[in-house]
Amino acid sequence: MEDRPLGMYLHIPFCRRKCNYCAFYSAPAGEAAWEGYADALCRHIALWGERLGRRAVDTVYFGGGTPSLLWRQLPRVLAELGRCFQLDTGAEISLEANPGTVGREELRALRQAGFNRLSLGVQSAVEGELRALGRLHTAAEAMACVEAAREAGFANLSLDFMLGLPGQSEESLERMEDFVRRAAPQHLSAYILKVEAGTPFGEMGEALRLPDDDTAADLYESCVARLSALGYGQYEVSNFALPGFACRHNEKYWSLEEYLGIGPAAHSLLGGTRFFYPADRAAFVGGGLEQLQREGTPDWEEYAMLRLRTAAGLDTGRAGLPDGLLERARPFEKPGLLYIEGPVIRLTPKGFLVSTPLIAEILYG
Amino acid sequence: MSYRDNIRNFSIIAHIDHGKSTLADRLLEATESVAQREMSQQLLDNMDLERERGITIKARAVKLDYRAEDGQVYTLNLIDTPGHVDFSYEVSRSLAACEGAILVVDATQGIEAQTLANTYLALEHDLEILPVINKIDLPSADVERVGKEIENFIGIDASEAPAVSAKMGTNIEAVLRQIVKLIPPPQGDEGAPLQALIFDSFYDSYKGVIVYIRVKEGEVRPGQRIRMMATGAEFDVVEVGYLRATQMEKCDRLRAGEVGYLTASIKNVQDTQVGDTVTTAENGAAEPLHGYRQVQPMVFSGLYPADGAKYNDLRDALEKLKLNDASLSFEAETSAALGFGFRCGFLGLLHMEVIQERLEREFNMDLVTTAPSVVYKVELTDGTAKVIDNPMDYPDPATIAQAYEPFVNASIFSPSEYVGNIMELCQEKRGVFKNMEYVDENRVDIRYELPLNEIIYDFFDTLKSRTRGYASLDYELSGYQPSKLVKLDILLNGEVVDALSFIVHTDKAYARARRMTEKLKEHIPRQMFEVPIQAAVGGKIIARETVRALRKDVLAKCYGGDITRKKKLLEKQKEGKKRMRQLGSVEVPQEAFMAVLKLDSDS
Query: What is the CATH classification number for the domain harbouring B547?
Result: 3.30.70.2570
Residue B193: is its pLDDT beyond 80? Answer: yes
Chain B: closest CA distance from residue A54 (Å): 22
Q: Is B18 annotated as a binding residue?
A: yes
Q: What is the mean pLDDT of chain A?
A: 94
B464 and B515 housed in the same domain: no
Count of the separate structural domains present in chain B: 5
Is residue B37 within 8 angstroms of chain A, CB to CB? no
Percent helix, strand and coil across chain B, each to the nearest 5: 30, 35, 35
Say what percent of chain A tops pLDDT 90.
85
Is residue A21 within 8 angstroms of chain B, CB to CB? no
Residue B560: is its pLDDT beyond 70? Answer: no
d(CA A107, CA A6): 26
Greater model confidence, A321 or B593: A321
Domain boundary pick from B247, B280, B313: B280
pLDDT digits (tens, 9 = 90+) for B321-375: 887 787 889 999 998 888 899 999 998 888 888 898 889 888 999 888 888 899 9
Q: Choose among B199, B202, B166, B167: nearest CA to B47.
A: B202
Q: Which domain holds residue B319?
A: 299-369
Q: B556 CB contacts (<8 Å, ≥6 apart)?
A: A163, A191, A192, A193, A194, A237, A238
pLDDT digits (tens, 9 = 90+) for B30-80: 887 665 545 555 455 555 656 555 555 555 789 999 988 888 999 999 998
Single pTM value for the model: 0.69
- Give B549's contacts in chain A (Cβ within 8 Å): 335
pLDDT digits (tens, 9 = 90+) for A48-74: 999 999 999 999 999 988 999 999 999
Q: Which CATH class is domain A300-364?
A: mainly alpha
- Looking at residue A24, its pLDDT comes to 85
Decide if B328 is inside a domain.
Answer: yes
Residue B528: is its pLDDT beyond 90? Answer: no
Q: What is the mean pLDDT of chain B?
A: 87
B163 and B268 housed in the same domain: no
B52-61, B87-96, B294-303: least confident range: B52-61
d(CA B230, CA B69): 43
B168 and B207 housed in the same domain: no
B26 and B148 housed in the same domain: yes
B140 and B9 housed in the same domain: yes
> Cα B295 vs. chain centroid, distance in angstroms?
13
B478 and B492 housed in the same domain: no
Decide if B293 is inside a domain.
Answer: no
The arrangement of secondary structure in A6-253, i.e. its CATH architecture, is Alpha-Beta Barrel (3.20)
Q: A272 CB contacts (<8 Å, ≥6 apart)?
A: A297, A298
In chain A, where does the domain assigned CATH 1.10.10 lie? 300-364
CB atoms within 10 A of CB B572: 12
B348 and B382 housed in the same domain: no
d(CA B211, CA B221): 13
- Whether ipTM tops 0.85, in short, is yes
B94 and B105 housed in the same domain: yes
Is residue B575 within 8 angstroms of chain A, CB to CB? no
Domain boundary pick from B434, B459, B483: B483
DSSP string, B119-183: HHHHHHTT-EEEEEEE-TTSTT--HHHHHHHIIIII----TTPPB-BTTTTBTHHHHHHHHHHHS
Of B561, B570, B577, the CB nearest to A9: B561
Decide if B292 is inside a domain.
Answer: no
Is residue B578 within 8 angstroms of chain A, CB to CB? no
B364 and B215 housed in the same domain: no
Extended strands (E) in chain A: 6-12, 56-64, 86-97, 117-123, 156-163, 187-192, 233-236, 239-241, 259-262, 267-270, 273-276, 293-294, 314-315, 338-341, 344-347
Contact between A354 and B551 using a beta-carbon 8 Å cutoff? yes
Q: Is B291 annotated as a binding residue?
A: no
User: What confidence tier does A1 reach under pLDDT thresholds 50, 70, 90?
Assistant: very low
Which domain CATH number covers B7?
Answer: 3.40.50.300
Residue A108 burial by Cβ neighbours in a 10 Å radius (0-12, 13-18, 19+) = middle
Q: Choose among A232, A220, A205: nearest CA to A172.
A: A220
Q: Which residues pair with B241 in a beta bridge?
A: B250, B261
Of B527, B551, B554, the CB nearest to A355: B554
Chain B: closest CA distance from residue A269 (Å): 8
Of B552, B566, B570, the CB nearest to A353: B552
B325 and B414 housed in the same domain: no
Contact between A364 and B569 using a beta-carbon 8 Å cutoff? no
Domain boundary pick from B459, B483, B507: B483
pLDDT digits (tens, 9 = 90+) for B241-282: 999 888 889 999 999 999 999 999 998 888 888 899 999 999
Of A194, A217, A364, the CB nearest to B574: A364
CB B422 within 8 Å of CB B412: yes
Q: Mutate which of B493, B526, B552, B577 to test chain A, going by most A C-beta atoms within 10 A?
A: B552
B261 and B248 housed in the same domain: yes
Query: Rounded to the nearest 5 degrees, what angle is found at the Cα of B121, between the Cα atoms of B200 and B21?
Result: 60
Residue B512: is its pLDDT beyond 70? Answer: yes
Decide if B167 is inside a domain.
Answer: yes
Q: Is B22 annotated as a binding residue?
A: yes
B16 and B110 housed in the same domain: yes
- Give B493's contacts in chain A (Cβ within 8 Å): none
Which domain CATH number covers B475?
Answer: 3.30.70.240
